[in-house]
Copies of this chain bind each other. A is one copy, B any other.
Amino acid sequence: MGYFNDVNSLAAESNRHSGNFVARKPCMANLDPILDDLVAANRILAGLHVLDGFGHVSVRHPDRADRFLISRSLAPELVTREDIQVMDLDSNVQDGDTRTPYLERFIHGKIYARRPDVVSVVHSHAATIVPFAASSVPLRPIYHMSSFLAAGAPVFEIREKFGMTDMLIRNNAQGAALAEKLGDNSAVLMRGHGYCTVGGSIPEAVFRAYYAQLNADLQQRAVALGGTVTYLEDEEARRYDETNRSVIGRPWGLWKAKFAPKE
């Protein structure tokens, strides 16, 4: 299944929804920037070393709140538009696409199901976060760039509900438990595994995935100095999180220029 088939099936999907065959061309045009941004997000997260051979990023379908777009099972650095699949919120692959999906797609489906405000989800094993996911020391915002952590970054312990597992989120029950632990926060850590960030747009979810792992490194360093550490006040964090929406285009523009596939 190739690029044109994919785009066609996405367009057909969208057409079925609108019940309007004439709308097909405009709908394709409509999905184009989302597909480009989703591919860019994959490449950016690989380029920033937030993702390696594993991890994934998804976006809610712009026309259907009960669908999301995500690559087939592939290293993010290699993802192209041809590799994008459409899934429902139980993470069933749509449109007869038989290519292997990510084992952990249930993370995405269940977060979209529980959080109507979320437009994009990143799941990563980034190196600086994993120690916090294994430690009793909580991740806290050390500067404004990671203000989104102030509301909290709860740690999901899969053993609580599921006992011994292979640590992966392999089904909807596990996905729903993770989404529940995420609650209204912007990030959730996963013990012995990694973390997820969510955002109201692809750039916001990517920004949070990047700065969550950078904050982990900085907090680690601050703790190691042995003095007292002053974290952001909740009010400071809330205010910057607001501000960030007006400036997030700046790193996103840089990252696209550096890492997105050239035309």
Contacts and interface: CB of A to CB of B under 8 A. Distances in A.
A103 interface: yes
A236 B125 contact: no
Interface stretch (A28-36, A107-115, A139-147): A139-147
A254 B77 contact: yes
A132 B232 CA distance: 14
A64 interface: no
A164 B239 contact: yes
Contacts of A218: 127, 130-131, 134
Most buried by B among A127, A166, A191, A253: A166
Contacts of A233: 159, 164
Given A142-B130, A143-B134, A254-B53, A166 B220 contact: no
A236 to B, nearest CB: 6
B224 A220 contact: yes
A251 interface: yes
Chain A interface size band reads 35 or more
Interface string A202-246: 000000000000100111111111111111110110011011001
A167 B232 contact: yes
Given A218-B127, A224-B220, A192 B134 contact: no
B251 A144 contact: no
Given A164-B236, A229-B135, A75 B192 contact: no
6 contacts: A78-B254, A131-B219, A131-B222, A134-B218, A134-B230, A223-B226
